Amino acid sequence: MRRTIGKRRLSRAISLLTIMSLGAGASATIAPPAAVADAHGIVAGATVKADRGSPTGYTVTFVYHNPNATQVRLAGDLTLLDLATGNTRYQPEEWQPGRYHAGGTEFTRDMTKDSEGYWSVSLPLHAGSISYWYRVWDPTQGWENKRIWDPASTNPRPPGESSFRVRNNDVLDAVYVPYDEKQNDPVLKERAEYELPIADPEKRGTVTYIPYTTILGDSGHYLGVYLPAGYDAEREQPYKVAYLAHGIFGDETDFMVPANVPNILDNMIAKGEIEPTVVVTMGNHFTGTSLGFGSYNQTNAANNLVQTILPLIEERYNVSTERDGRAYAGFSYGGMTGAHVIRGYPTTFAFYGHFSGNPSLTAQDYDNVAAAVGENNLFVFLGNGVFEGNLNAQNAIADNFRARGYDAATTQVPGAHDGMTASQLFTIFARDHLWSGVDTVTVTPATDNLTQGWNWVRQFNATVTTNEGVSPAVTWSVQGASSADTTISADGLLSVAADETASSLTVVATSVVDPTKASSAQVTLAPPGTARTVVKAKATPASIVQGGTFELHVDLRAQTQHKKAPTVTGEIAVTFGGTTRVVPLAGGEAVVSLPTAGLATGGYPVHVAYSGDRDYAPTAAVHQQLRVR
């Protein structure tokens, strides 16, 4: 029987996946681009400072050191698009809620040079990972409008100049800006939560670039590999793995830097929202040496992925070799390449993501995929940025998969056709749709029988089985209550109000990580019986020195005694000295300790209330006067 996959957090208004490839140079721990101070105390790199005068609450100062340069410009995906005005571009200083940094039009601004050769400029930027680069004119290096990443950046890169973005003069970097309440935008608040480097270095994964030879026999190419913090090559359970493909002008660095996958997964794993996951990125420009579309052959890319990259990664790393443990996703041209992957290798991956690039599939293709996958699981995600257009095409593709019995979802995020949109989509896909690592949720006790007209308190517990590193946290809820005072705490403590008239309640524990995994318990509420009881409550002695403790013995019996009279069940509430203690009956009896600490000398009544059960009626009365001396 096919089970539902890829559907977590379905209450979200937007949920999406997207993937490009990203990478790093040598083995290294992921860290934000560093701002480096030299002997003069000037800080090179991107420095983010809180600024009450900034419209976003933060100002970023970019400093680049090059005494030989004749001109330097800050550039990047830094202009703003507004949800209300569409294609109108705004400058960073014009930020206001509803506006987002967006690619598609390169922002440039001249930087100012000081006497020491430091070039600088300052801008307000909103929260998240924001893409930027420099454009440099330096005659000593033969640079004219040379696009470079920030030399102060600590993001790992492939060695040499073989990567496509370097050869194409199209590199990117990223600066990480915190969220300020001044921004008043839940989307930006969430971006900061996931896209900024995690504070604890011990919880940061590593990014390396490993050389390999493509399916065409060409060497000198690299795969980006992200390993989660604490990666264990000997772990009994192999790690889930996502293979991410870039767009037409990207390479293996796209998902590691502008799309920011390492930071996102570091934060997500630390929260227990996803299993520790390995990510592999690849450069797909290996068919020929041109810088155009021809070097990215989609059929070659799909074959290279499955026939060359998968065997290499599965031999070298402790990753899943099962389809349920693998995901493929691509951004733009990489999303389109997904058509070649799912068409040529329909049983290799259980999760597919097509972001800002749709697969072109015929009706026969859909039928062929369904015939190959059969009753196994398949989840397909499609989406884009709001500024890229509507989701009509994506919805039609999703409907084709749904019509054949497979799960599919579509969504949009506030963004354009760029790595920042890819970053948002990956966050949603990984957290809300990929493997959650939660197997089962069980609630105990599974049932309880109570009577109406009493303030009942019952403790419920949840047992959650998860894979390693996944949070077992649950949220509790109670369904079917008629009284607003019937509630359940965050720890599973159910409080049933005395005025509750419902005949049954359902107590539900839902996994925080995977809300599709839940369990429930049934609480039945019946009117109490009508048989009357005799209540005997007595403490001996009836007088005690201040600070001592009375021991009250309570005995409940049927008013008409006979050998087959059922045992009185339920609980009693004993009020003494302004404090009420609730005690369950055992065989119709209970012993209640009544401390006198803090009580003044004098007489105190003992009030005993009985809950009643399905045979016996509730009752309440004062049963004894106790004296504190």
d(CA 308, CA 221): 12
Residue 326: pLDDT band (50, 70, 90) is very high
Taking residue 555's Cβ as centre, other Cβ atoms within 10 Å add up to 16
User: What pLDDT does residue 288 have?
Assistant: 80
> Where in the chain do CATH 2.60.40.60 domains reside?
438-526
Using alpha carbons, select from 326, 328, 373, 387 the residue that is nearest to residue 354.
Answer: 328
User: What pLDDT does residue 289 have?
Assistant: 73
* pLDDT mean over 132-137: 97
> Where in the chain do CATH 3.40.50.1820 domains reside?
1-22+198-252+267-434
* Beta-sheet pairing, 277-282 with 240-245: parallel
What is the chain's Cα-based Rg? 33
Phi, psi of 62 (to 5 degrees): -100, 125
Mean of pLDDT over the chain: 90
Domain 1-22+198-252+267-434 in CATH 3.40.50.1820? yes
pLDDT higher at 167 or 321: 321
What is the CATH code for 533-628?
2.60.40.1930
Per DSSP, which regions of 423-517 are E strands?
438-444, 447-451, 456-459, 461-466, 474-479, 487-488, 493-496, 504-511
pLDDT digits (tens, 9 = 90+) for 417-466: 999 999 999 999 999 888 877 889 999 999 999 999 999 999 999 999 88
* pLDDT mean over 122-136: 97
* pLDDT mean over 74-85: 96
Residue 594: pLDDT band (50, 70, 90) is very high
Q: Give the list of residues 6+ apart from residue 559 with CB closer than 8 angstroms, or none.
A: 531, 532, 533, 534
User: Is there a contact between 418 and 104 (Cβ–Cβ < 8 Å)?
Assistant: yes
The domain defined by 438-526 folds into Immunoglobulin-like (2.60.40)
User: What pLDDT does residue 58 have?
Assistant: 98
User: What pLDDT does residue 16 have?
Assistant: 30
d(CA 382, CA 620): 64
Q: How many CA atoms lie within 13 A of 121 on its CB side?
A: 17
User: What pLDDT does residue 467 have?
Assistant: 79
22, containing H or E segment: none
Q: How is residue 300 written in tokens?
A: 């070659």
At residue 24, does pLDDT exceed 70?
Answer: no
Residue 121: pLDDT band (50, 70, 90) is very high
Q: How is residue 542 written in tokens?
A: 């009836």
User: What pLDDT does residue 272 have?
Assistant: 86
pLDDT digits (tens, 9 = 90+) for 505-553: 999 999 988 888 899 999 999 999 998 889 999 998 999 999 999 999 9
pLDDT higher at 354 or 289: 354
Identify the weakest region by mean pLDDT among 3-7, 207-211, 218-222, 394-398: 3-7
* pLDDT mean over 144-161: 91
At residue 91, does pLDDT exceed 60?
Answer: yes
d(CA 166, CA 254): 12
What is the CATH code for 32-196?
2.60.40.10
User: What pLDDT does residue 7 have?
Assistant: 62
pLDDT digits (tens, 9 = 90+) for 491-500: 999 999 999 9
User: What pLDDT does residue 36 have?
Assistant: 53
Using alpha carbons, select from 88, 73, 212 the residue that is nearest to residue 132.
Answer: 73
User: Is there a contact between 536 and 555 (Cβ–Cβ < 8 Å)?
Assistant: yes
Using alpha carbons, select from 284, 251, 79 the residue that is nearest to residue 171.
Answer: 251
User: Is there a contact between 130 and 175 (Cβ–Cβ < 8 Å)?
Assistant: yes
Over pLDDT 90: what percentage of the chain? 79
d(CA 491, CA 493): 6
For the chain, what's the residue count?
629
pLDDT digits (tens, 9 = 90+) for 45-69: 999 999 999 999 999 999 999 999 9
DSSP string, 135-153: EEEEGGGTEEEEEE--TT-
> Where in the chain do CATH 2.60.40.1930 domains reside?
533-628
- Dihedral, CA atoms, 163, 164, 170, 173, nearest 10 degrees? -40
User: What pLDDT does residue 20 have?
Assistant: 31
> Where in the chain do CATH 2.60.40.10 domains reside?
32-196
User: What pLDDT does residue 29 have?
Assistant: 31
Phi, psi of 295 (to 5 degrees): -80, -10
Q: How is residue 344 written in tokens?
A: 């040529």
